[in-house]
């Protein structure tokens, strides 16, 4: 589990390039679970491998709280938000310092690469919904962008980003990655940015479709659902059930709708080929994942977390409510910072 978090100026809301200082201020055991990002106004917190949701929740809350204290000591404020809401002034600020885009990366164990490639294909129909559930970046340049996840729009500039292509084998998957490297799209040790990818270092599938969640509670929910979907996909592969055959253009369209609307409108249901209310898709997801959730002992926690999500909304919905009520971005950032450590 990897959460990318922004370091913002408490007064102006602008990016603060103090990640090295913040990491240096972390206690050693926590520092080992942090990483520097290419943008010095971001820090990534990495959980240990967890098998139970309470264990994951403990580490997420602990890492966020301790990182927030280290950020405060460096004059910054830690915020779990998908995109920098306010750009630094002036035309000469490098793009990399302006655009803090923070995602959530969930690693789920899969025994072997052949199986992992097939799991990625089975996940395709559900990932737009998980993207909508994690939407947490509606504001950019101080205004509502009209998208629940503006980060999802911005990262389309990155090469090799998008839905994972369907491959017949791990060899085909590896050939595609090699071809991207040969084309110059991937340079050096750069990795593909597909929404689900097979890890090169460990036996996992890494799902990286969502914004960083506003609260640790939402992160735990997304993780539980993804683990259950991966387990369901493994069962389907072993039972000889093929991945749903959906056109690439509709998969892309479903992700676009998810990025724009979050859970506040209809979403495109790739299984049936038309739009449906987001709440209906969430219900279908729960029904599909329930056997695995029961096996993992996660079903009661997931039902409670989904009920709360329906009641209070995504991170994007929360930000919009505060912005509409106050018209003041400072109130939005105060709320985001509070949820980062308390939610």
The 10s digit of each residue's pLDDT in 142-156 is: 999 999 999 999 999
Mean pLDDT of the chain: 94
Alpha carbons 98 and 96: distance in angstroms, whole number: 6
3.40.50.300, 3.40.50.920, 3.30.590.20, 3.20.20.80: CATH of 2-342? 3.30.590.20
Query: Which pair of structure tokens corresponds to residue 70?
Result: 């280290």
- Tell whether the model's pLDDT for residue 97 goes beyond 50: no
Residue pair 120/164 in contact by the 8 Å Cβ criterion: yes
pLDDT score, position 188: 62
- In angstroms, the CA 171 to CA 66 distance is 42
Contact indicator for 123, 222 with CB cutoff of 8 Å = no
Rounded Cα distance, 195 and 100, in Å: 19
Cα distance between residue 330 and residue 20, in whole Å: 25
Average pLDDT of span 271-288: 98
To the nearest whole percent, how much of the chain has pLDDT over 70? 95
Of 8-17, 86-95, 175-184, 239-248, where does mean pLDDT reach its minimum? 86-95
pLDDT tens by residue, 152-207: 999 998 888 999 999 999 999 999 999 998 898 886 667 899 999 998 888 999 99
Q: What is the pLDDT of residue 95?
A: 46
Q: Is the pLDDT of residue 89 over 70?
A: no
**Phi and psi torsions of 217, nearest 5°:** -60, -45
Q: Please compute the mean of the pLDDT values over residues 258-282 and round it to a whole number.
A: 97
Query: How far, CA to CA in Å, does 150 sit from each of 83, 194, 211, 280?
Result: 7, 18, 9, 24
* Lowest mean pLDDT segment, chosen from 9-23, 68-82, 90-104, 280-294: 90-104
Is 0.85 surpassed by the pTM of this model?
yes
Q: Does residue 204 contact residue 125 with C-beta atoms inside 8 Å? A: no
pLDDT in tens, 2-53: 999 999 999 999 999 999 999 999 999 999 999 987 789 999 999 999 999 9
When pLDDT is averaged across residues 58-80 and rounded to a whole number, the result is: 98
The structural domains of the chain, with segments of one domain joined by +, span 2-342
Burial class (CB in 10 A: 0-12, 13-18, 19+), 68: buried
Q: How far is CA 339 from the centre of its chain?
A: 16
Cα–Cα distance measured from residue 30 to residue 66, given in angstroms and rounded to the nearest whole number: 8
Q: Which residue has the tokens 């264990």?
A: 55
């Amino acid at each position: 589990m990897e959460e990318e978090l922004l370091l913002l100026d408490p007064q102006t809301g602008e990016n603060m390039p103090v990640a090295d200082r913040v990491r240096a201020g972390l206690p050693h055991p926590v520092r080992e679970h942090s990483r520097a990002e290419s943008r010095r106004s971001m820090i990534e917190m990495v959980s240990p491998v967890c098998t139970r949701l309470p264990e994951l929740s403990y580490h997420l809350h602990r890492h966020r709280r301790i990182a927030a204290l280290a950020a405060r000591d460096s004059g910054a404020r830690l915020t779990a938000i998908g995109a920098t809401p306010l750009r630094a002034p002036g035309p000469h600020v490098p793009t990399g310092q302006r655009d803090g885009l923070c995602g959530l990366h969930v690693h789920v164990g899969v025994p072997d690469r052949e199986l992992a490639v097939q799991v990625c294909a089975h996940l395709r129909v559900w990932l737009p919904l998980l993207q909508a559930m994690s939407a947490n970046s509606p504001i950019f340049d101080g205004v509502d962008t009209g998208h629940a996840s503006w980060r999802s729009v911005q990262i389309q500039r990155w090469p090799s980003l998008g839905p994972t292509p369907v491959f017949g084998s791990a060899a085909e998957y590896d050939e595609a990655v090699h071809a991207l490297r040969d084309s110059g799209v991937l340079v050096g040790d750069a990795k593909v940015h597909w929404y689900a990818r097979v890890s090169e270092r460990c036996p996992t599938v890494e799902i990286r479709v969502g914004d960083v969640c506003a609260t640790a509670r939402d992160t735990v929910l997304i993780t539980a659902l993804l683990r259950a979907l991966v387990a369901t996909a493994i069962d389907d592969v072993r039972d000889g059930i093929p991945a749903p055959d959906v056109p690439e253009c509709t998969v892309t369209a479903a992700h676009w709708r998810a990025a724009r609307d979050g859970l506040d409108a209809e979403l495109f249901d790739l299984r049936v080929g038309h739009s449906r209310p987001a709440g209906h898709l969430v219900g279908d997801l729960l029904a599909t994942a329930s056997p695995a959730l029961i096996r993992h002992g996660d079903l009661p926690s997931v039902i409670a977390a989904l009920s709360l999500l329906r009641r209070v909304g995504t991170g994007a919905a929360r930000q919009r409510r505060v912005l509409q009520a106050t018209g003041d971005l400072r109130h939005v950032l105060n709320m985001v910072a509070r949820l980062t450590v308390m939610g």
